[in-house]
A and B are shown apart, each in its own frame.
Chain A
Amino acid sequence: MTSVPVFNSAVSGRAGSARGKSARGGRRFGRASRRAALNLLGLLVALFALFPVLWMVSTAFKPATEIYSLTPHPIPLHPTLANFRAVFSGSVIGISYWNFLKNSLFITIVAVVASSFIGLLAAIALGRFKFRFRTTYLIMLLIVQLLPQQALVVSLFIDFRKLNLLDSLVGLILVYTAFALPVTIWMLRNFAATVPRELEEAAAIDGAGAWTRFWRILLPLVSPGLVATSVFAFIFAYNEFVFALTFLGTDTAKFTLPLYVEYFYGQNSTNWGAIMASSTLFTIPVLAFFLFTQRRLASGLVAGAVKG
Chain B
Amino acid sequence: MVTSSHSRPGTPSPAGSTSPPSEPDGPRTGRSVSATSDLSFRQRVGIWIRKHGAGPYLLLLPATAVIGALILWPAVQVGLFSFQNYGLMQISGVLPSQWIGFSNYSQILHDPEFWQSLKTSVYFALVVVPLTMIVGTLVGQLLARLGPKMRTFVSVSALLAWATPAVSASVIFVWLVDPDGGVVDWALAKLPSWLGGGAHWATFSWTNATLPAYSVLTVMLVWTGFPFIAVTVLAGLRTLPSELLEAARVDGAGPWRTFWKVTFPILRPVFLVLALLSTIWDFGMFTQAYIVTGNLGNRDEYNLGLYEYSQAFTQPPHYGLASAAAFVLTIILLIVTVGYVRAAIKQGSLA
Contact = CB atoms under 8 A, between A and B. Distances in A.
B312 interface: yes
B13 A118 contact: no
Interface in B1-20: 1-7, 9, 11-17, 20
Interface string A140-181: 001010111111111111110100000000000011011101
Contacts of B166: 239, 241, 258
A77 to B, nearest CB: 15
Contacts of B183: 55, 72
Contacts of B35: none
A52 B305 contact: no
B161 A50 contact: yes
A124 B75 CA distance: 27
Interface stretch (A1-9, A82-90, A92-100, A221-229): A1-9
A153 B75 contact: no
Nearest to B180: A68
Nearest to B287: A241
For the side of the interface on A, what is the size category? 35 or more
Contacts of A129: 7, 13-16, 55-56, 59
B108 interface: no
B268 interface: no
A155 B77 contact: yes
A134 B4 contact: yes
A214 to B, nearest CB: 11
A282 B157 CA distance: 18
B71 A178 contact: yes
B21 A261 contact: no
A112 interface: no
A121 interface: yes
A46 interface: yes
Contact of A155 (B62, B74, B178): B74
Interface of B: 1-7, 9, 11-17, 20-22, 46, 53, 55-57, 59-60, 62-64, 66-67, 69-72, 74-75, 77-78, 81, 86, 91, 138-139, 141-147, 150-151, 153-154, 156-161, 163-169, 171-176, 178, 180-181, 183, 186, 223, 227, 235, 242, 245-246, 248-249, 254-256, 258-259, 280, 284, 286-287, 290-291, 295, 305, 308-309, 312-313, 319, 322-323, 326-327, 329-330, 333-334, 337
Interface of A: 1-7, 12, 35, 38-39, 41-43, 45-46, 48-50, 52-53, 55-56, 59, 67-72, 118-119, 121-122, 124-132, 134-135, 137-139, 142, 144, 146-159, 161, 174-175, 177-179, 181-182, 185, 189-190, 193-194, 197, 200, 210, 235, 238-239, 241-242, 245-246, 258-259, 261-262, 265-266, 270, 272, 275-276, 279, 282-283, 286-287, 290-291, 294, 302, 307-308
